[in-house]
Structure 1
Amino acid sequence: MMLSDKDLKELALTRQLVTPFDPSNCEGATINLTLDSKIKRYISEKEIILGEKITEDQYEEIDISKTVFHLQPNESVLVRSVEYFRIPDDMAAQVLERYSIKLLGLMISPASYMNPGYEGTMSFIAYNQSPKPIRLTPGIKFAQLAIFKLSSEAEKPYRKQDAKYLGSNEVSISKLHLDKEIQEFLLKKGIGNVSNDTAKELGDFLMNKINKSAQKIAEELRKKFGDPNER
């Protein structure tokens, strides 16, 4: 169930769902989110390998309240909301694009999701799909927050997961390398990071884990329900 503006206002005022909260930004079934002044642009010449640790020195931080910044066509940067979120354990959040922003050719991560129990600011990819540069303006309403009520409270809210971004209060870069399976691979190999030389091995390792897990589940189902080929 998607919450109405009435319920969103009550959550914001009584449970600090969104801080700071301006009631005028809450209409219909969403809360408008505002663009923070800090952004990060990838400046490294290194290619990106999925699973490899990304470091802060691969990015340039820019304060767009002090420096005029135009996002060039086909360029992307990391941005974040001014707002700090506290998602209850029995709810989940979806960040939606603003129609007026989309019509200008500026895409804001269209599938941003917050787990039950998430707390922190939220970072996004801003991508210029238009043929012209777009000047980014801090404080602009750039996205919308929708909240959904779960059928029951989550058994494993975000703080009980890997919680890599819990409490984030800055523009976040990817922490994909901290995934449990990737860390398991690095430990097994006795190496500190994924590289071009080990990327294929990582892929093989992950696919092997997936296949083993599928086989285990299939065996458990056979024991419980019998072999379907024998029916």
Structure 2
Amino acid sequence: MSLLRDEEIIAALTAQPPAVPYVEGVVLPVDPYSKDSPVQASSIDLRIGNIYLPGEKETDLGGAQNPKQDYSHKTGETAVITTLETLHLPGDIAAFGFPPSRVSFKGLLMTNPGHVDPGYEGVMRFTVINMAKDPYHLERGGQIVTLLIFKMNDAAHRNWRQRSTAVPRLPNRADISRLSRDFVDVDERARKVAKEYGIKWSAGITAAVALFGILLQLLGSGRLFSRADIDDLKKRQENVEYDLKNRVNVEQKLQDFDNRLKDIERITAAQKPKQSALSSKPKVPRKNP
């Protein structure tokens, strides 16, 4: 078995009919051997095609029938991606895919990279999870996987195409719905812990966000919730609720003050015509006794 080099890969991509290219949909630059070419010394880079999001309805944007073209992939979220390119591997050609370092170094974890059997027909698809602190921008046409292509000494006795009765297809609703949108399910775990220890989870949006942030920090540190952690959470929640209550009181007082000002303005406006009428009456001269 031998690994194909750049010249062999390019020849396999540009073969004229009736030959079928090993990878369909690759766009080569004017100089296919340049640093910007998807074909490198012994590999080829494939790009993002469709983006599917677990939890979306089938026809909603991100669902099985309406994939997204770009998405800001948040920390801990799961997505399903297909390649823009389609593979047409002969019976004596196999491949192995993995995320390039420029992708993995940004925190994108690919859960199912691996080998592609001889004879495979169709797009590649992956489940990806953002393990970074910041959102990862998924975009149609962005690089997602590096593919190594191998030529075997002999063709497989029965390749993928001969073994598989299924027609190559895109992910469907059943495939996508098996996955959780939130990989570690942080939100649900935090709610369960809060309920178990008697912490009121929602005391306004600010309190919820503050408490969730604290829970994320605890999960990120790799610790379980100890009694000290829970006590600390309760104290912090009480402080947030106190601040919220005071803020509401101040806002109410300001509203009352504003209402009083409006009442005074109305009374003043009503008195002005009366004062004008009094001032316009002719003065009667007093008689001296």
The equivalent position to 1:27 in structure 2, one of 40, 53, 58, is 40
Q: 1:19 to 1:28 in 2, by over 3 A?
A: same
> CA separation of 1:109/1:4 partners in 2, compared to 1, >3 Å: closer, same or farther?
farther
TM-score when normalising by structure 2: 0.50
- Cα distance, 1:174 vs. partner? 7.1
Specify the code of the residue in structure 2 equivalent to 1:16: P
Deviation at 1:63, TM superposition (A): 3.9
* Cα distance in 2 for residues equivalent to 1:31 and 1:145: 5
Structure with larger Rg: 2
Aligned length: 160
The answer to whether the Cα contact below 8 Å between 1:64 and 1:136 also exists between their aligned partners in 2 is: no
Amino acid at match of 1:124: F
Give 5+ residue unaligned stretches, structure 1: 45-54, 176-231
Q: Distance in 2 between matches of 1:174 and 1:146?
A: 30
Q: Is the 8 A contact 2:112 2:126 kept in 1?
A: no
- 1:27-66 paired onto structure 2 within 5 Å: 27-36=40-49, 38-43=50-55, 60-61=63-64, 63-65=67-69
8 Å CA contact 1:39, 1:171 repeated in 2: no
> In structure 2, how many angstroms separate the alpha carbons of the residues matched to 1:137 and 1:21?
17
Give per-residue Cα distances to partners, 1:176-219, cap 9 Å, x unaligned.
Answer: xxxxxxxxxxxxxxxxxxxxxxxxxxxxxxxxxxxxxxxxxxxx
Matches of 1:174 and 1:115, distance apart in 2? 24
Indicate the percent of aligned positions where both proteins have the same amino acid.
21
CA contact under 8 A between 1:39 and 1:77: conserved in structure 2? yes
Name whichever structure is richer in helix by fraction.
2
Closer, same or farther: CA 75–163 of 1 in aligned 2, 3 Å: farther
Contact 2:48 2:143 (8 Å CA) reproduced: yes
Match of 1:85 in 2: 87
Q: How does 1:74-223 map to 2 (within 5 A)?
A: 74-109=76-111, 111-164=113-166, 166-168=167-169, 170-171=170-171
Contact 1:108–1:143 under 8 Å retained in 2 = no
TM-score of the two chains, using structure 1 as the length reference = 0.61
Cα deviation, 1:134-179, whole Å, max 9, x if unaligned, reads 1212111121111111121001101122354x433x346777xxxx
Q: CA deviation at 1:56?
A: 6.2
Letter in 2 for 1:29: S
Q: Deviations over 1:20-55 (max 9, x none)?
A: 12232111111111111x2222218xxxxxxxxxx9
Amino acid at match of 1:60: G
Q: Residue type of the partner of 1:28?
A: A
Deviation, structure 1 residue 133: 1.8
Offset at residue 75 of structure 1 (A): 1.5
Question: How big is the shift at 1:60?
Answer: 2.6
Q: Distance in 1 between matches of 2:133 and 2:63?
A: 24
Distance in 2 between residues matched to 1:91 and 1:135, nearest whole Å: 33
- Distance verdict in 2 for CA 1:34–1:162, change over 3 Å: same
How far apart are the structure 1 equivalents of 2:174 and 2:164?
14
